[in-house]
Amino acid sequence: MTAQMLAGLRVLDLTTIVVGPAATLRLADYGAEVIKIEAIEGDLYRVLGGPSPTGAHSGGYLHFNRGKRTVGLDLKRPEAREALSKIIEGCDVVVANMRLKALERLGLDAATLLARHPTLIHCTITGFGPGGPYRGAPGYDSVFQGVSGIAATFTARDGAPAYVPLVLCDHLVGEITAGAIMAALLSRHRTGKGSTIEVPMHETVAAFVLNQHLGPSTFEPPLGPPGDRRTLSPQSRPAQTADGWISLTLNTDAQMKGFLTAIGRQDIGEDPRFRTVADRFRNADQWLAVRNNHLMAHTTAEWLELFAENDVPAMPCHTLESLLEDPHLTAAGLFGNQEHPTEGPIRSMRSTVAVDGAFAEPGRPAPPVGWDTRDVLLEAGLSPAQVEALLASGAGVGRAAAANT
């Protein structure tokens, strides 16, 4: 049986799109009960994340919100805010990625909630932290890829900045946020006190970029401009084979020798530009060109066999389509199938973290907006009459109404 490390923990999820849902997804995978509060019209990512049979549950939304409960409330309405306050009484953690001023208007800011619930962990994900001129400015993943320097890393290779075609910043900051929340929970276990957490996206992603790319400029005086010349090289790319592409990395001298043995060019190892790790770093463009330009003689499968024999780190360079057929992922059981209440059969993925040798199942598919409103409000102490009155007023949406939208 899979260990649920956060079983019994209740998390109020006031987040949308990807960064916040990525954080609470990690907590849900570890066994926390996550209650996602959505506006009546639902999280924008239900539509922004792509098509679906009903148009209301994009694949992206389903994957980032599996295993969570959903409550539909119009927080502009006082009766909805009152209902939410009752839910918060039973929660251990509140996570939000709305603007701080919006939280204050709704009475959901850290100062207000911790005054009422001193053991609460209150976590906000912001675009830009305090003390700088960007504070309060809006932003999405592409904005942060640009301002953090990620987009500029493509300039050396392609001559122009570009975005990584993933919501990389959102997912990265979401995972870091989940870790911060778990650290705060450990602190509360030791001290009995709650915590206020803020995770600013710009600073977090900029530090992520600069941990690698500050490089020679780490030192005073600088030993050179910032940038890891290996990964910034135009040659730092998958290598073309006779029938496709292959991904390989040669970091150590032993790996380099194994590669040269596989391609039958041990003589290249005597070139003073390539003899050591330091030599290959200084001459990264030339070395990577050598690596890439010797692989057209064989197919990807043939190279993979030769590289395996010589202990060279190499794998197929998948397309998005072939990734779904990857034999390791299939054998490892990453993919599954579930039945969604409105979308029909869907492809699901389990957690990738093994606990005591077992992986958590993906939990139920992310349901329609307000699927759990009645149950959660009743659990929070509202009477059946109060719940029905709230839904009838339009301040909330429940399962029957959501299933018809």
Dmax of the chain from CA atoms? 83
pLDDT of residue 3: 59
Q: Which two tokens stand for residue 66?
A: 């599996």
For the 239-316 domain, the top CATH level (class) is alpha beta
Q: How many residues does the chain have?
A: 405
Chain region(s) in the chain for CATH 3.40.50.10540: 10-208+331-403
Q: Which fold has domain 10-208+331-403?
A: Rossmann fold (3.40.50)
The Cα 187–Cα 196 span in angstroms is 12
pLDDT in tens, 373-403: 999 999 999 999 999 999 999 999 999 644 4
Q: Average pLDDT for residues 214-225, to the nearest whole number?
A: 96
State the pLDDT confidence band at 1, using cuts at 50, 70 and 90.
very low
Mean pLDDT of the chain: 95
Q: Is the pLDDT of residue 7 over 60?
A: yes
The Cα 155–Cα 162 span in angstroms is 8
The Cα 70–Cα 162 span in angstroms is 36
Q: Average pLDDT for residues 155-163, to the nearest whole number?
A: 92
Q: Is the pLDDT of residue 214 over 70?
A: yes
State the pLDDT confidence band at 157, using cuts at 50, 70 and 90.
confident
What does 43-95 look like in DSSP terms, one character per residue? -THHHHT---SSSS--HHHHHHSTT-EEEEE-TTSHHHHHHHHHHHTT-SEEE
pLDDT in tens, 116-135: 999 999 999 999 999 999 99
In 10 A of CB 206, how many CB atoms?
A: 16
pLDDT of residue 4: 86
Q: What residue type is 41 in one-letter code? A: E
Q: Is the pLDDT of residue 112 over 90?
A: yes
Chain region(s) in the chain for CATH 3.30.1540.10: 239-316
Percent of the chain with pLDDT over 90: 95
Q: Which two tokens stand for residue 44?
A: 């924008």
pLDDT in tens, 320-374: 999 999 999 999 999 999 999 999 999 999 999 999 999 988 899 999 999 999 9
Q: Is the pLDDT of residue 149 over 50?
A: yes
pLDDT in tens, 171-189: 999 999 999 999 999 999 9
pLDDT of residue 128: 98
Contacts of 61 (CB under 8 A, 6+ apart): 43, 45, 46, 49, 366
State the pLDDT confidence band at 15, using cuts at 50, 70 and 90.
very high
Contacts of 351 (CB under 8 A, 6+ apart): 29, 359, 360, 361, 362
Backbone angles phi, psi at 248, to 5 degrees: -150, 155
pLDDT in tens, 275-312: 999 999 999 999 999 999 999 999 999 999 999 999 99
What does 148-204 look like in DSSP terms, one character per residue? TTTGGGGHHHHSS----SS-HHHHHHHHHHHHHHHHHHHHHHHHS--EEEEEEHHHH
Identify whether 365 is preceded by a cis peptide bond (ω within 30 of 0). Answer: no
CA-to-CA separations, 323 to 59, 142, 209, 317, 335, in angstroms, rounded: 16, 24, 27, 9, 11
State the pLDDT confidence band at 156, using cuts at 50, 70 and 90.
confident
The Cα 375–Cα 384 span in angstroms is 10
